[in-house]
Amino acid sequence: MKRNYKLILVIIAVAVFIVAFRKHQMVDNKESAIITGINNIIEYAHYHPADVNNHFSERVFNQFIEDLDPSKRYFLQSDIDELSVYKDSIDNEIRKGRTDFYKKIYAIVKKRQAESIEYIDEILEKGFDFDKDEVLNIDYKKIKPAKTKAELKERWRKYLKFNTLSRLYDKIKDQETKQKKDSAFKPKSIKELKQEALKATKKSIKTYIDALKDMEDMDYFAIYMNAITMQNDPHTNYFSPQGKERFDMDMSGSFEGIGARLQKEGDYVKIVEVIAGGPAWKDGKLKVGDIIQKVGQGDDEPVDIMGMRLSKVVKLIKGAKGTVVKLIVKRVDGSIETIPITRDRVELEETFAKSLLIKDNNQTFGYIYLPKFYIDFKDKDHRSAASDIKKELEKLKAENVGGIVLDLRNNGGGSLSTVIDIAGYFIDKGPVVQVRDKNDKVELLKDEDKNTVYNGKVVVLINELSASASEILAAALQDYNRAIIIGGNSYGKGTVQNLIGLNRVMGDNFGDLGALKWTTKKFYRISGGSTQRKGVIPDIIIPDTYMYLEIREKDEKTALLWDQIDKARHKIYQIPYKSQIVASEQQRIDTTALFQHIKEKARWIADKKKDNVIYLKLDKYIADLKKNEVISKRYDSLTVFESHFKFYSLPVDLKDNVKAQDTVFKTRRKKWIDAVKKDPYISEAVKILEKEYKS
């Protein structure tokens, strides 16, 4: 894989440099370099590039307008009419590296945003009449652009009224609850509650406006580039320099900095979370609520960040491990303090694999939760999903568990190499996945290690948000008959992406150009079928609340099609009485009241999503919510489930001296165990293991 990847980079680099040289006169600015680089990479190296023609141009036109104004509260119909001259010429601009359409629409959207801020201030200053009988239609796909500024202003008024109305209802309901609990409680008047709700809306909208002002030209340009790239398929994406940094952090589950989450607060920046285990947390001086006023590097004079964009403040605070950043903060009590913090690697524990023991009478099982297939591309020796899963398996083996539940629900994928390694932990050796390139060449990716880390019973949990790498692992274990797969039909992402920095192919004349992630290949199961669109169908299907929503790959307009190739030779393991276990458990689940309720709720949620009218009159709004609450109460049994199984942290985890002293770890672990106890899907997985255990 590494050799092939390097070869692809060389081919792309040569091809793009040739084309870029021929078009040198057109590449005269950063945006032109980005659009030219992206277009040529996709043209030469995408698995199935879309035809860049007038139809493509129209799709980009419509997509970019929708991305900039999804709720139709900015653009006027006259703006769309003015822009429509570009509708069938964007394809020509892309080929020539021009950005005329982008520049024109950017100027219009900035103008409309500035006008909307004036609308917002004026509307909130007047307040709202909650006795007026009116509705808000949120079926934005069918709503046409406003014809006049007055119509735009009216849309903002209704939107802000709904925001305030929902806060007012929450306050009314909160008072009712307090009155039931305490007869001496003195409720506020409806007038006072309205004022509080309006104040909360003003604060929320100010945060929104600050975020809007914080967006730079490059942020909008990235949206435009993605309107172009995603016409090829949903997973071909452009990353701005900052977006690339976030992508790397997401893939590795770590970054170098101080370990704090920030939020814009007026002209300065507020600490909203201190990440457990990070440098700021270990230092203990930085507190949630502190306002950062200045940032200094080492012994340098601190820089005043008043009015500075949040992204720039974050860039000032982040830095290489071992370096010192100096924060001048204003405490909640008004005092000013200087806090020096030595930067270090910050690991986001919630992104990493973890395990528990499950006990029932004399039987013990293991549970492993894997939220993503993470890896640090810059430091391959650092922890990864593969190395962590191996450790968790070895710890569970040491406890002599009778089987393991591997939870891949909501796991959106990640590193392909970690999937191959993890699949190999459960099989002797052999193929894991087939990959086909644009020239129909098929490569068989194998586990070459004869050693098996865990050869016991396995149940894998998946759902509609288990995607890509999750599907490869689940499909491989299913095709080997190495595990019983349960849950919902997976997402259906069966494509491979590569990532390349645009500077590698366009040079360094225009600064950091960001990166392109583009689709280069398709995955195929070792049984031959693609996971694209179809996903992985579980051996035992368990209803869930999102099963009827259109949220899978097949619901994406530009998703590549399903197909199949020849199967790869592989071993078939034996699960004693599997067909009987699957049949009996499926029948039991299908007739279990809990899962029947879940299925009913799923249908209700799907139907409710089609209800696009919101009442803006207080009594009608409350009546509509109460009607839904009555329906929702039918499903109260779903929230009171608690497993009869006992869940424990592994002894080796509790012996860890750092964790043993870490109150944050203890609190988070307790919350996690409580959540696992209330998860019926995990209990079903254990029941299936018990059936296997007894077979």
Q: Higher pLDDT residue, 252 or 24?
A: 252
* Residue 519 phi, psi dihedral angles, 5° rounding: -80, 125
**pLDDT (tens digit per residue) in 587-596:** 999 999 899 9
**Residue 295, beta-bridge partner list:** 303, 327
Quick one: how far is CA 346 from the chain centroid? 20
Confidence label for 85 from pLDDT (cuts 50, 70 and 90) = very high
Query: What domains sit in the chain, N to C, each tagged with a CATH number?
Result: 50-231 (no CATH), 254-347 (2.30.42.10), 351-513+520-694 (3.90.226.10)
- Least confident span in 32-41, 309-318, 460-469: 309-318
**pLDDT of the residue at 588:** 95
| Comparison of pLDDT for 270 and 518, the residue scoring more | 518
pLDDT at 290: 86
Annotated catalytic residue within 153, 264, 493, 601: 493
pLDDT at position 27: 77
- Please determine, for residue 292, whether its predicted confidence score (pLDDT) is greater than 50: yes
> Helical H runs in 215-257?
217-229, 241-252
CA 413 to chain centroid, in Å, comes to 11
Annotated active-site residue 479? The verdict is: yes
Mean pLDDT of 22-44: 83
What average pLDDT does this structure show over 123-141? 95
What pLDDT digit, counting tens, does each position of 406-416 carry? Answer: 999 999 998 89
CB atoms within 10 A of CB 449: 14
Out of 41-50, 130-139, 489-498, 620-629, pick the least confident.
620-629
**Whole-angstrom distance, CA of residue 510 vs CA of residue 32:** 10
CB-hemisphere CA count at 13 Å for 479?
Answer: 26
Q: Which of 479, 539, 653, 679 is catalytic?
A: 479
| Cα 470 off chain centre by | 15
Task: Give yes or no: 28 in active site.
Answer: no
pLDDT tier at 516 (50, 70, 90 boundaries)? very high
Rounded to an integer, the average pLDDT of 125-149 is 95
Whether the predicted pLDDT of 690 surpasses 60? yes
Residue 115 has pLDDT above 90, yes or no: yes
State the Cα–Cα distance between residues 388 and 372, nearest whole angstrom.
Answer: 11
Pairing of strands 540-541, 484-487: parallel
Exactly one of 355, 384, 415, 468 is catalytic; name it: 468
Q: Give the per-residue pLDDT at 126.
A: 95
The mean pLDDT value of the chain amounts to: 89
Task: Write the DSSP assignment of 268-316 as a string of letters.
Answer: EEEEEEE-TTSHHHHH----TT-EEEEEEETTSPPEE-TT--HHHHHHH
Confidence of residue 3 (pLDDT cuts 50, 70, 90): very low
| Predicted model pTM | 0.86
Residues in the chain: 695
User: Could you tell me what percent of the chain has a pLDDT over 90?
Assistant: 65
Q: Which long-range contacts (CB under 8 A, 24 or more apart) does 293-299 make?
A: 293/268, 293/328, 293/329, 293/330, 293/336, 294/327, 294/328, 295/325, 295/326, 295/327, 295/328, 296/325, 296/326, 296/327, 296/328, 297/323, 297/324, 297/325, 297/326, 298/323, 298/324, 298/325, 298/326
**Statement: residue 119 has pLDDT above 80:** yes
At residue 17, does pLDDT exceed 60?
no
- pLDDT over 70 at 251, yes or no: no
Does the pLDDT value for residue 266 go beyond 90? no
Q: Indicate whether 13 pLDDT > 80.
A: no
Model pLDDT for residues 340-386, shown as the tens digit of each residue? 999 988 766 677 899 999 999 889 999 999 999 988 776 666 789 99
pLDDT at 25: 43
Check residue 665 and give its pLDDT: 73
The pLDDT of residue 628: 85
| Residue pLDDT, tens place only, 618-633 | 999 999 988 888 887 7
What percentage of the chain carries pLDDT values higher than 70? Answer: 91
Residue 656 confidence (pLDDT) above 70: no
For residue range 447-469, list pLDDT tens digits in order: 998 899 999 999 999 999 999 99
pLDDT at 18: 46
Give yes or no for residue 2 having a pLDDT over 50. Answer: no
CA contacts within 13 A on the Cβ side of 291: 16
pLDDT at 368: 98
Long-range CB contacts (within 8 A, 24+) of 169-176 = 169/618, 169/621, 169/622, 169/625, 171/196, 171/197, 172/622
Does the pLDDT at position 168 exceed 90? Answer: yes
pLDDT of residue 5: 47
pLDDT at residue 351, rounded to an integer: 77
| Cα gap 360→405, rounded to integer Å | 14
Give the confidence band of 9 by pLDDT, cuts at 50, 70, 90. low
Structural contact between residues 484 and 462, judged by C-beta atoms closer than 8 angstroms: no
Q: What is the pLDDT of residue 294?
A: 87
Q: How far apart are CA 247 and CA 667, in angstroms?
A: 29
For residue 45, name the pLDDT band (cuts at 50, 70, 90).
very high
| Lowest pLDDT segment from 215-229, 374-388, 415-429, 670-684 | 374-388
pLDDT at 50 over 50: yes
Question: Diameter of the chain by CA atoms?
Answer: 81
The predicted pLDDT at position 401 comes to 97
Helix (H/G/I), strand (E/B), else coil: 447? strand
> Would residue 468 show up in a list of annotated catalytic residues for this protein?
yes
pLDDT given for residue 461 in this prediction: 98
